[in-house]
Structure 1
Amino acid sequence: MSGLYAPGLLVAAPRSGSGKTTITLGLQRALRRRGLRVRGAKSGPDYIDPAFHAAATGEASLNLDSFAMDDALLDGLAARSAADVDLILAEGSMGLFDGIAGATGRTGASADLAARFGWPVLLVLDVSGQAQSAAAIALGCMSFDPRITIAGVVLNQVASDRHRRLVADGMERIGLEVLGALPRDPSLALPERHLGLVQAGETHDLEARLNDLADRIEKAVDLDRVLALAATTMTAPSSPCPTLPPPGQRIALAQDAAFSFVYPHILQGWRAAGAEIMTFSPLADEPPPADCDACWLPGGYPELHAGRIASAHRFLGGLQAFAQSRPVHGECGGYMVLGRSIEDAAGQTHPMAGLLPVATSFARRKLHLGYRIATPMETGPFGKRAGPMVGHEFHYASIVDQGPANFAEVSDANGVSLGAAGHRHGHVTGTFFHVLAG
């Protein structure tokens, strides 16, 4: 493995639910056990999978998003990630070509990353309920986008040796190499909840699961061939890697099972800009450190811990005192906690910090999903000095009562106005969208 940057592969599939994550994690851990330094990357705005990649590889993972990130940020993050490892093993999102209807290379689709960085695609196919017909799906993926190369396929959910042979027969007819086949086994699935996988830090037997996945991958997949297929056309970025400016010099970051959805590249960018990040746990009733000059409450699962947060009086009192003189920002779950109350799944209402005029409910669920482009209405640590922000919204909680939205004017990925969103009151701001780039 030579060259300025490590070679890479993109593990992708024609659709969600094909087994991308389990196969990616198994490959990452198996190659790490060979003594290789492997780094993961996740296409798109998913904030859960990178933590699993980090657990599997021992290296920090990150998100790469061809819609939300401009060229300098995208290239800078990818180059930084590939500079000190042996292999980049990236994971796609949804289907390989799924994204917004946008300009070529700027759709948010996983294929954009494969094309931009020269990463061949390792296609995962769930072949349950089909045999040679799986090759027709693979052939469509091979021919749909001439920018990318489908280097090989891993078959998943194989019912028997006969089933495997029939599927392989179809792949031979289209000239696509079968790199491995995993048998049908429901025990391979990782535990899930309403926003996706149960977080890596909450999966108590994660190490055993990762090693089990690696054992199965080593038996079922030709790892030497996988390594031989990795490639890249990545070059040094022409400009520095910009990211969201830090909101302060010392940033108090809430971090525990209720507050965990923060993009790794955001924290990396803050540290690179000279900021210091001090973590604290609201669930442990810890207030934001008094010697910090800004506080950030990321998203997570406060709706699952609403009663415990409501009784965390040191945290709530400390947060209220902090907000009297210094900026506080909440994203999604953090925004909910900054509001007046949260109604949990059972319909019980729990008082929150009361710093923003919003009340939310997890009992009255509705899926909110998509990219957001936001222009803050006022200048401030989270305001116009950084220009418009690009983010992503993904939650089931609903607003049941609020004052006039006054944080930002928001549109979707296609430029359709969604009106005003989020709130600003004094030093406190909050939104339901997670910022990806400024």
Structure 2
Amino acid sequence: MSLSPQTPGLLIAAPASGTGKTTVMLGLLAALRERGLQVQPFKNGPDYIDPAFHRAASGRWSFNLDTWAMPEAMLDGMLAVAEGADLVLAEGSMGLFDGVAAPGATGNGASADLAARMGWPVVLVIDASGQAQTAAAVALGLARFRPEVTVAGVILNRIASPRHEALVRTGMAEAGITVLGVLPKRAGIAMPERHLGLVQAEEQPALQALIAEAAALMREGVDLDALLAAATTGAKSAPEQKIIPPGQRIALARDAAFSFVYPHLLHGWRAAGAEVLPFSPLGDEAPDPLADVCWLPGGYPELHGATLAQADRFRNGLRAFAETKPVHGECGGYMAMGEAIVDKDGNRHRMAGLLGLVTSFEKRKMHLGYRCATLAQTIPGHAAGSLLRGHEFHYSTILSQPDAQLANVTDATGAPVEETGSTRLQPGGGLSTGTFFHLIAPAP
């Protein structure tokens, strides 16, 4: 299955983070859905929170597209999920041209790389607060920076008054930049934030009301017909690349503490015929003993330390499972496999004890960036010696890491990273492994 060449696309981007891209993206998805259009959302880069919001607004699963981590065949093959859609709408990350210094599998991870590869014109969300005609200089600079990146127009955000709008429009007209929409300041639909960025979609009790308000804002302020007319077809089309699942039956931790798993992995596992069996550690549920493997994704276990420490059925069930079967954890899941987590107040909470890892959030230290890992030990789905690409983002500090090193890990520039992951063989022969990075794709 591949993307029809008749499916047009756009990429929503901005000069920087914090301009209102996500609000605009959600509002457009919902407003176009109200028109009866099927819109396939994507997210540039390794963000694992925005796709859940996209799904709530569009009614379709949203997937990450990452030019640094994904090889060409995987990147192009991911477009197969847009089969039957009327429009592709991708949300950029950070500023339009912001990526890592060293290129990766297909590019440097910038939104511009994705737009150029897929042939999608860019709609810029310009935060015009605190400026007037100067906003046009910013837009013009972005439009001319790379010839292979086409800027279709701008949506002006946080416009304070009709006079402010007139001044900004004047500048855009002089620069030859099309204005596709004008949005007033409206703090009521600002997305709440947490220490790892936006809160998760399932944690936002008024999510549908927020999306409805954002859609109304787009209907009032954006020329949706002009926006649709600006979309163009991309030339890329490829068969969907197969993803090797970690097992035939996968017990997957899934709740507010463990939810950071990339949608393309779940989609790929299921497409390969694997069965995903979710369970909730916070609900004191154990992994299905009939599963072949247990996968603990990242999330916020440090916010639920006391609950997890008291979840005896989960802990005992996980330990029994791990005796003879593989268990793998990523970031928060890795921490939950360890001996303990120390929360921000200095309270120590007992974890599963499959690994000796002890982590602390008492003194926050940010760990952020792409990761390359050469496995020294097998993990579910990937043999020793495999080269994997992923992304790490957390604020924990390692207090103890006594187990064997899982991998040699470097950042995007090739510099060594101390967080190497851990591996331990259990007495019954089961293998427990964990990493701080979230797997995106194997290297070609």
TM-score (norm 2): 0.95
Contact 1:299 1:334 in 2 (8 A): yes
Contact 1:393 1:434 in 2 (8 A): yes
Letter in 1 for 2:405: N
Contact 2:376 2:384 in 1 (8 A): no
Letter in 2 for 1:285: D
In the aligned structure 2, how far is the partner of 1:41 from the partner of 1:115? 15
Q: Which moved more, 1:357-366 or 1:27-36?
A: 357-366
* Partner in structure 1 of residue 313 of structure 2: 314
Cα 1:378–1:385, aligned 2, differ >3 Å: closer, same or farther?
Answer: closer
Letter in 1 for 2:193: E
**1:346 offset after TM fit, Å?**
1.4
Letter in 2 for 1:433: F
Which SS does the other structure have where 2:126 is aligned? strand
Ranges of 4+ aligned residues in structure 1 off by more than 4 Å: none
Q: Which moved more, 1:399-408 or 1:29-38?
A: 399-408
Contact 2:4 2:237 in 1 (8 A): no
State how 1:20-59 maps to structure 2 within 5 Å: 20-59=21-60
Contact 1:41 1:64 in 2 (8 A): yes
In the aligned structure 2, how far is the partner of 1:365 from the partner of 1:3? 47
1:218 has 2:219 as partner: yes
Contact 2:9 2:88 in 1 (8 A): yes
In the aligned structure 2, how far is the partner of 1:268 from the partner of 1:5? 24
Contact 1:5 1:234 in 2 (8 A): no
Contact 1:405 1:421 in 2 (8 A): no
Q: Using the aligned pairs only, state the percent identity.
A: 57
Write out per-residue CA displacement over residues 41-97 of structure 1, whole angstroms, 9 at most, x where no aligned residue: 00000000000000000000000000000000000002x122221111110000000
* Partner in structure 2 of residue 107 of structure 1: 108
Specify every segment of 5 or more residues in structure 1 that has no aligned partner in the other structure, as ranges: none
* Partner in structure 2 of residue 181 of structure 1: 182
In the aligned structure 2, how far is the partner of 1:236 from the partner of 1:179? 29
Cα 1:398–1:380, aligned 2, differ >3 Å: closer, same or farther?
Answer: closer
Write out per-residue CA displacement over residues 147-171 of structure 1, whole angstroms, 9 at most, x where no aligned residue: 1100010001111010011001000
In the aligned structure 2, how far is the partner of 1:165 from the partner of 1:42? 32
Contact 1:375 1:384 in 2 (8 A): no
State how 1:141-220 maps to structure 2 within 5 Å: 141-220=142-221
* Partner in structure 2 of residue 272 of structure 1: 271
Which SS does the other structure have where 1:241 is aligned? coil
Cα 1:276–1:3, aligned 2, differ >3 Å: closer, same or farther?
Answer: closer
* Partner in structure 1 of residue 98 of structure 2: 98
In the aligned structure 1, how far is the partner of 2:291 from the partner of 2:61? 25
Letter in 2 for 1:73: M
1:286 has 2:285 as partner: yes
**1:103 offset after TM fit, Å?**
4.2
* Partner in structure 1 of residue 420 of structure 2: 421
Contact 1:139 1:174 in 2 (8 A): yes
Cα 1:360–1:240, aligned 2, differ >3 Å: closer, same or farther?
Answer: same
In the aligned structure 2, how far is the partner of 1:227 from the partner of 1:87? 8
Specify every segment of 5 or more residues in structure 2 that has no aligned partner in the other structure, as ranges: 426-430
State how 1:287-436 maps to structure 2 within 5 Å: 287-384=286-383, 387-418=386-417, 421-426=420-425, 427-436=431-440
Contact 1:408 1:420 in 2 (8 A): no
Letter in 1 for 2:293: A
Write out per-residue CA displacement over residues 101-156 of structure 1, whole angstroms, 9 at most, x where no aligned residue: 23495100000111011100000000111000011100110110111100010001
In the aligned structure 2, how far is the partner of 1:200 from the partner of 1:137? 32
In the aligned structure 1, how far is the partner of 2:103 from the partner of 2:424? 38
In the aligned structure 1, how far is the partner of 2:283 from the partner of 2:84? 36
In the aligned structure 2, how far is the partner of 1:273 from the partner of 1:75? 18
Contact 2:403 2:424 in 1 (8 A): no
Write out per-residue CA displacement over residues 223-273 of structure 1, whole angstroms, 9 at most, x where no aligned residue: 011111111223321x55143x21111000000000000000001111111
**1:420 offset after TM fit, Å?**
6.3
**1:386 offset after TM fit, Å?**
7.7
**1:416 offset after TM fit, Å?**
1.6
Letter in 1 for 2:92: G
Which SS does the other structure have where 1:282 is aligned? coil
* Partner in structure 1 of residue 428 of structure 2: none
Q: Which moved more, 1:176-185 or 1:310-319?
A: 176-185
Q: Which moved more, 1:96-105 or 1:218-227?
A: 96-105
Write out per-residue CA displacement over residues 301-359 of structure 1, whole angstroms, 9 at most, x where no aligned residue: 10110100010000000000000000000000000100000111211100100111110
In the aligned structure 1, how far is the partner of 2:320 from the partner of 2:292? 12
State how 1:53-92 maps to structure 2 within 5 Å: 53-78=54-79, 80-92=80-92
* Partner in structure 2 of residue 135 of structure 1: 136
State how 1:224-239 maps to structure 2 within 5 Å: 224-237=225-238
Cα 1:344–1:294, aligned 2, differ >3 Å: closer, same or farther?
Answer: same
Letter in 2 for 1:432: F
TM-score (norm 1): 0.97
In the aligned structure 2, how far is the partner of 1:331 from the partner of 1:379? 15
Which SS does the other structure have where 2:282 is aligned? helix
- Aligned-residue Cα RMSD (Å) equals 1.5
